[in-house]
Amino acid sequence: MIELFYSPICPFCPKAKEALLEVLEKVNQKIRLDEVNVLSLEGLKRAEKYEVMAVPTIIVNMRHKIVGVPTESRLLKIINHEIVKEQMEGDKK
């Protein structure tokens, strides 16, 4: 699962979302994407849970936190790493 923490007034958040969506198109897996508006009460609570202090922030599988607009290569590397890790864990079962 990927969570994108954003604010509707943030000038960088649309760029982060665009980069994320482009990478998800390239990855041949179904990955759940949650967009979390930090200006909502629920979004603020989730941001506090993950100690999100700035937007945009992308969290991949509750393990990797990327603050700011990520490069495509960095996102791809993290997402592919998580896919391989999940496949290996599934093979052990």
**Domain at 68, CATH number:** 3.40.30.10
Q: Tell me how many domains the chain contains.
A: 1
Show the domain range for 36: 2-92
Does residue 30 surpass a pLDDT of 90?
no
Q: What is the pTM of this model?
A: 0.89
Does residue 88 surpass a pLDDT of 80?
no
Selection from 36, 31, 35, 46 nearest residue 79 by Cα: 31
User: SS3 for 2-35, per residue?
Assistant: EEEEECCCCCCHHHHHHHHHHHHHHCCCCCCEEE
State both tokens at 39: 């200006």
pLDDT tens digits along 44-56: 999 999 999 999 9
Does the N-terminal peptide bond of residue 8 adopt cis geometry, omega within 30 degrees of 0?
Answer: no
**Confidence band, pLDDT 50/70/90 cuts, at residue 18:** very high
Sign for the CA dihedral angle at 52, 56, 59, 65 comes to: negative
